[in-house]
Amino acid sequence: MAAEPKKLPGSLRNNPSLDLWIGIEADATVTVRSGKVEIGQGLKTAAAQVAAEELDVSLVRVRVKTADTAETADENVTSGSRSMEVSATALRYAAAECRAIMVRMAADRFGVPVDQLSVEDGTIRGPGSNQRITYWELMGGKKFGRDATGTVPPKVPQAHRIVGTRVERLDLPGKVFGQPAFVHDLTLPGMVHGRIVRPRHQSATLESVDTAAVEKLPGVIKVVRDGDFLGVVAETEVTAIAARDALHRAARWRAGPPLPDEDRLYEWMLGEATMDGGCIDGVHTDDCPPEEPPPKDAQTTLESLYARPYILHGAMGPSCAVAQWAGGTLTLHTHSQGVFPLRRALTNVFRMDEADIRCIHMDGAGCYGHNGADDVALDAALLARALPGRPVRVQWMRDDEHCWEPFGAAMVVKVRASLGADGRVADWRFDVWSNHHGNRPKGNPKESGLLAARMIENGLPPQTLGPATGSEAGEHRNAWPGYAFPRISVAKHFVTAHPFRCSSLRGLGAYANVFAIEQMMDELAVAAGQDPATFRLAHLPDPRARAVIEAARDAIAWGQHAATPGRGHGIAYARYKNAAAYCAVAVDAEVDETTGVIRVTRAVCAGDAGEAIAPDGIANQLEGGLIQSLSWTLKERVRFTPGEITSVDWETYPILTFREAPEVETLVLDRPGEKFLGVGEASQGPTAAAIANAVFAATGVRLRELPFTPERVRAMILEARRSA
Amino acid sequence: MSDTFRLSVNGREHSVTAEGDTPLLYVLRNDIGLASPKYGCGTEQCGTCNVIVDGDKAFSCTLTVRDAAGKAIVTLEGLGTPENPHPVQAAFIAEQAAQCGYCTSGIMISAKVLLDRNPDPDTDAIRVALQDNLCRCGTHSRVFRAVRRAARALAR
């Protein structure tokens, strides 16, 4: 009886061909291919490190190619902090196997056993003085032509010379010397420029537009109107922008339904119809657990409500794509996080075969989740369709990006927790209300996740929205507490009404859920008269969880400051998705009670991402996540009136400035030999709670509603002082 | 009405034909072929378009080609090359002070202008000099380190 075939590791499972991953070129270089993409997280560099390590070649020989529907493995979307886990793991095994194949070839040629051969920078040497051959001589551009077996073990961590070391990011020199590095910088022969015209209410429709005057402007090639979709193509970018302005003045929009009252957003959410579910031991259940009363012997029961508003991804570079039609085929240069799902979505909109669309990834500005990247790709394709043969570059303007990117979902969390007589948590009830977090383009041919698909005649309706039913998906993410509590009940309430398009923003539900859990842990520690760090450790059996808390606590010199009014420190912890990187954040904060301004003066982040391929890349992700979360937490909230979105630029949607940024210390706890754990979304939730906990330590005031703007903080402190 | 303007960019003279109120950004990117200044907001709110004009930091998204003509314009490409990097560029690589890199050009331009005037800035001086540059990836802490490193290198 044949043995059950072993599952291949990582993304090799669905993409087993070695040639999809590794190419040995005739010019003495190695091509490393990943179906994931560079989004500023250092993927190209980490992928190169892993492959160079297993192949025994120097890093300078490696060229990395990322997602291209014509060339790389289909690794779906670069999301969920999973690139190292699935793509680097696949590369590690593929590279080890390619090395073994080439060593075998050399052994056969020399007539010696493989264990007598060694490899150094692609040169294989045997025991004899003339037994020497290189990878490029053996393979030089030829394909391996076989599937991975997954049977060649990668190196043991002790043998690593490239993995785990600090190497410079391969993509940085281009960006630091001003070379064309982004899809925004792409120029193609005959390229022309497009712009899109959209209103400031996402459900407004185009009533009328007189395009005649705009079409006569010198340099305007074409105005494209298709249903509610309106755009313009011009010879130059400047003309396209001027024509867009003119079309904005000419367009008449039919108002959409009124948006909710911004100041009563959370009451609105709690009052809306919901689809309810739950989870047991972290696993999704369709049944929503009823709320049981606290245990009779509970000593103290606390209940608090926490809330986060709609938040922008807010890429620094508005979304951009270059599209070109030729002979019924479409080529798109895009910064989409998922070129294969984008291609599938485009085949549905244009009713074409996959073979006739090629999507090539190029770097974009940091996206932090599902932003306008896919939408602008369809916009560009629609404009380019009107000019067959000519490449059309479309970049959204700043207000397009602010008003039309899919927002990070607003959420409300209610936590009720009880302490037992032993001063430990005896009961935990968690209710989360949320809009949608997972609206990336999916495969259903009858609907579309691409924005313009709903606007064009004979287009496709928006994707059906529904509650996240996967464990750790959407609003479920980190809703299950990572602590050992004796009784846990988690209920999920998906708010079906969506005033805005929402989709994946870094961390998904984890940002608000961890914010709530980690503030409640502080509230419970205070009620129990215990130190917040010690209180957490008492509920955490996992030594790796304990290690990050202890590291952050010790680095911030926890408990060693004299108590000063208006100053305090706070700590918070989470393991992202209860399965990825461990992270603890500790901050020092100052609160000016007269202005309400919070200043984070120092921040420490301790993370454990398993085996660290690129320790500095991990540090960069942790501290970048921390600072981004500082910005969300202190400042960010999409503003709107009943009639329109009013957050249209960086003045009406301010983010953290260099003036407000603390110095961040990052501690990476390396675990050689352990699984790679995704780290890009680990620090956001803990950061928000650590700041709130520090503000409580400084002022005695609990901030449960995000963001902590000066007006809100000042009002909260005044209110607390009045009632005291 | 298009006119012809003479621009001095990174020490080279260029003659461009454009309407006088065209933002310099688009002339640099599309007529002269320089990729480093980026469009971010078009309203001087983010700094991705920053260039140096007669020694001062300028927002090329609002500065018109008419006003830039005849002045000495320097973009990131004019600071240094991979073979011969400017200390600011070398420091940003050494500190790995970027993630996506879209805002990096503008930040390095602001840092260069700061260091030209204040060779030994403390972190608060760096904060003030960079207050008009936004970074969404959260590399601020690394940028502080990179600017301090560049200052040390320039002092040597």
Is A626 within 8 Å of B138 when comparing Cβ atoms?
Answer: yes
Percent with pLDDT over 70 in chain A: 99
Is A238 within 8 Å of B128 when comparing Cβ atoms?
Answer: no
- A441-488 pLDDT, tens per residue? 998 999 999 999 999 999 999 999 999 888 899 999 999 999 999 999
- Does pLDDT of A1 surpass 50? no
A439 part of contact set with chain B, CB < 8 Å: no
Please identify, among A144, A161, A178, the residue that sits at the C-terminal boundary of a domain: A161
Please identify, among A161, A178, A204, the residue that sits at the C-terminal boundary of a domain: A161
Q: CA-CA distance, A151 to A98, in Å (whole number)? A: 11
Interaxial angle between packed helices A710-723 and A684-699, expressed in degrees from 0 to 180 and rounded to the nearest 10 = 40
Average pLDDT over residues A357-378: 97
Q: Provide the residue-wise pLDDT of chain B in tens; the chain has 156 residues.
A: 799 999 999 999 999 999 999 999 999 999 999 999 999 999 999 999 999 999 999 999 999 999 999 999 999 999 999 999 999 999 999 999 999 999 999 999 999 999 999 999 999 999 999 999 999 999 999 999 999 999 999 998
Q: What's residue A126's pLDDT?
A: 94
Please identify, among B29, B46, B78, the residue that sits at the C-terminal boundary of a domain: B78
Instruction: Give A 641-660 residues with CB within 8 A of chain B.
Output: 649-651, 655-659
- B111 phi and psi angles, rounded to 5 deg: -65, -40
First-last CA distance in chain A: 78
Mutate to test the interface with B, among A361, A394, A658 (most CBs of B within 10 A): A658
**A627 vs chain B: nearest CA distance in angstroms?**
5
Whether residues B74 and B93 share a domain: the answer is no
Whether residues A244 and A96 share a domain: the answer is no
Q: What's residue A40's pLDDT?
A: 80
User: Which of A25, A33, A37 minimizes the C-alpha distance to A680?
Assistant: A37
Cis omega (within 30 of 0) on the bond before A707? yes
Whether residues B112 and B146 share a domain: the answer is yes
Determine the number of helices (DSSP H) and then strands (DSSP E) in chain B. Answer: 6, 5
For A399, nearest residue in chain B (alpha carbons): B41
Number of domains in chain B: 2
Strand, helix or coil for residue A175? helix
Whether residue A403 contacts residue A198, with contact meaning beta carbons closer than 8 Å, is answered with yes
For A316, nearest residue in chain B (alpha carbons): B40
Is A627 within 8 Å of B76 when comparing Cβ atoms?
Answer: no
Instruction: Give A 29-48 residues with CB within 8 A of chain B.
Output: 39-42
Average pLDDT over residues A348-362: 97
In a domain, A267, yes or no: no
Per DSSP, what are the bridge partners of residue A539?
none
Domain containing B102 — which CATH number?
1.10.150.120
Whether residue A459 contacts residue A433, with contact meaning beta carbons closer than 8 Å, is answered with no
In a domain, A179, yes or no: no
A303 part of contact set with chain B, CB < 8 Å: no
Whether residues A347 and A425 share a domain: the answer is no
In a domain, A667, yes or no: yes
Whether residue A191 contacts residue A322, with contact meaning beta carbons closer than 8 Å, is answered with yes
Whether residues A55 and A128 share a domain: the answer is yes
Whether residues A641 and A551 share a domain: the answer is yes
Per DSSP, what are the bridge partners of residue B4?
B17
The residue assigned the tokens 């991402």 is: A609
Nearest to A623 among B92, B108, B141 (CB): B141
- A200-228 pLDDT, tens per residue? 999 999 999 999 999 999 999 999 999 99
For B89, nearest residue in chain A (alpha carbons): A176
**A623 vs chain B: nearest CA distance in angstroms?**
7
Whether residues A548 and A562 share a domain: the answer is yes
- Does pLDDT of A86 surpass 70? yes
Instruction: Give A 187-216 residues with CB within 8 A of chain B.
Output: 187
Nearest to A650 among B46, B85, B104 (CB): B46
Whether residues B6 and B72 share a domain: the answer is yes
Whether residues B72 and B126 share a domain: the answer is no
Whether residues A40 and A75 share a domain: the answer is yes
- B20-44 pLDDT, tens per residue? 999 999 999 999 999 999 999 999 9
Residues of B in Cβ contact (< 8 Å) with A655 = 134, 136
A167 part of contact set with chain B, CB < 8 Å: no
Q: What's residue B156's pLDDT?
A: 87
**A500 vs chain B: nearest CA distance in angstroms?**
22
Is A168 within 8 Å of B23 when comparing Cβ atoms?
Answer: no
Nearest to A628 among B22, B45, B136 (CB): B136
Residues of A in Cβ contact (< 8 Å) with B18 = 238
In a domain, A466, yes or no: no
Average pLDDT over residues A184-211: 97
Please identify, among B56, B78, B100, the residue that sits at the C-terminal boundary of a domain: B78
Whether residues A124 and A198 share a domain: the answer is no
Q: CA-CA distance, A403 to A96, in Å (whole number)? A: 47
Average pLDDT over residues A80-105: 92
Average pLDDT over residues A520-530: 98
User: Which of A453, A619, A668, A423 minimizes the C-alpha distance to A531?
Assistant: A423
Strand, helix or coil for residue A607? strand
Percent with pLDDT over 90 in chain B: 98
Percent with pLDDT over 70 in chain B: 100
Whether residue A17 contacts residue A56, with contact meaning beta carbons closer than 8 Å, is answered with no
Instruction: Print the domain residue range for B68.
Output: 2-78
- The Cβ of residue A666 has, within 10 Å, a number of other Cβ atoms equal to 22
Residues of A in Cβ contact (< 8 Å) with B103 = 316, 365
Whether residues B62 and B125 share a domain: the answer is no
Whether residue A410 contacts residue A269, with contact meaning beta carbons closer than 8 Å, is answered with yes
In a domain, A36, yes or no: yes
Average pLDDT over residues A284-302: 95
Please identify, among A97, A128, A161, the residue that sits at the C-terminal boundary of a domain: A161
A400 part of contact set with chain B, CB < 8 Å: no
Whether residues A335 and A355 share a domain: the answer is yes
Q: CA-CA distance, A32 to A314, in Å (whole number)? A: 31
Strand, helix or coil for residue A295? coil
Is B93 within 8 Å of A168 when comparing Cβ atoms?
Answer: yes
Rounded CA Rg of chain A: 27
Is A177 within 8 Å of B77 when comparing Cβ atoms?
Answer: yes
Is A172 within 8 Å of B103 when comparing Cβ atoms?
Answer: no
Whether residues B47 and B98 share a domain: the answer is no
Count CB pairs under 8 A between chains A and B: 171
A165 part of contact set with chain B, CB < 8 Å: no
Whether residues A672 and A653 share a domain: the answer is yes
Whether residues B71 and B93 share a domain: the answer is no
Whether residues B69 and B7 share a domain: the answer is yes
- Which of these ranges, A249-253, A550-554, A560-564, A692-696, has the smallest mean pLDDT? A560-564
Whether residues A505 and A650 share a domain: the answer is yes
- A375-428 pLDDT, tens per residue? 999 999 999 999 999 999 999 999 999 999 999 999 999 999 999 999 999 999
ipTM computed for the complex = 0.98
Instruction: Print the domain residue range for A379.
Output: 186-256+318-404
Residues of B in Cβ contact (< 8 Å) with A623 = 138-139, 141-142
Residues of A in Cβ contact (< 8 Å) with B105 = 175, 178
- A565-594 pLDDT, tens per residue? 899 999 999 999 999 999 999 999 999 999
For B79, nearest residue in chain A (alpha carbons): A177
Residues of A in Cβ contact (< 8 Å) with B142 = 620, 623
Which residues in A616-648 are b (16+ Cβ under 10 Å) and which e?
bbbbbbbbbbbbbbbbbbbbbbbebeeebbebb
Domain containing A481 — which CATH number?
3.30.365.10
Two structure tokens written together for A65: 């190619």
**B155 vs chain A: nearest CA distance in angstroms?**
21
Average pLDDT over residues A534-553: 98
Is A659 within 8 Å of B137 when comparing Cβ atoms?
Answer: no
Whether residues A395 and A429 share a domain: the answer is no
Q: What is the mean pLDDT of chain A?
A: 95
Q: CA-CA distance, B26 to B23, in Å (whole number)? A: 6
Q: CA-CA distance, B76 to A513, in Å (whole number)? A: 42
Residues of B in Cβ contact (< 8 Å) with A175 = 98, 101, 104-105
Domain containing B35 — which CATH number?
3.10.20.30
Is A316 within 8 Å of B75 when comparing Cβ atoms?
Answer: no
Is B35 within 8 Å of A180 when comparing Cβ atoms?
Answer: yes
Nearest to B75 among A178, A180, A655 (CB): A178
- A15-29 pLDDT, tens per residue? 999 999 999 999 999
Q: What's residue B1's pLDDT?
A: 76
Q: CA-CA distance, A453 to A474, in Å (whole number)? A: 24
User: Which of A337, A331, A338, A333 minimizes the C-alpha distance to A321?
Assistant: A333
The residue assigned the tokens 């037994």 is: A131
Number of domains in chain A: 3
Whether residues A332 and A432 share a domain: the answer is no
Residues of A in Cβ contact (< 8 Å) with B45 = 649-651
Q: CA-CA distance, A464 to A106, in Å (whole number)? A: 56
Percent with pLDDT over 90 in chain A: 91
Nearest to A650 among B98, B130, B134 (CB): B134
Whether residues B47 and B102 share a domain: the answer is no
Which DSSP symbol is given to A453?
Answer: G
Is A363 within 8 Å of B100 when comparing Cβ atoms?
Answer: yes
Q: How confident is the model at residue A4 (pLDDT cuts 50, 70, 90)?
A: low
Whether residue A14 contacts residue A21, with contact meaning beta carbons closer than 8 Å, is answered with no
In a domain, A711, yes or no: yes
- Does pLDDT of A7 surpass 90? no
Whether residue A352 contacts residue A451, with contact meaning beta carbons closer than 8 Å, is answered with no
Q: CA-CA distance, A456 to A469, in Å (whole number)? A: 31
Nearest to B137 among A168, A366, A395 (CB): A366
Residues of A in Cβ contact (< 8 Å) with B40 = 316-318, 398
Is B134 within 8 Å of A631 when comparing Cβ atoms?
Answer: no
- Does pLDDT of A5 surpass 90? no
Find all residues with CB under 8 Å of B122, minimum gap 6, and list them.
Answer: none
Residues of B in Cβ contact (< 8 Å) with A187 = 33
Instruction: Give A 49-68 residues with CB within 8 A of chain B.
Output: none
Find all residues with CB under 8 Å of A723, minimum gap 6, and list them.
Answer: none
**A205 vs chain B: nearest CA distance in angstroms?**
26
A376 part of contact set with chain B, CB < 8 Å: no
- Does pLDDT of A348 surpass 80? yes
- A238-258 pLDDT, tens per residue? 999 999 999 999 999 999 999
- Find the helix or strand (DSSP H, E) in which A400 lies: helix A398-404
On the 0-12 / 13-18 / 19+ scale of CB atoms within 10 A, B56 is: exposed
Strand, helix or coil for residue B4? strand
Whether residues B65 and B107 share a domain: the answer is no
Residues of B in Cβ contact (< 8 Å) with A180 = 35
A639 part of contact set with chain B, CB < 8 Å: no
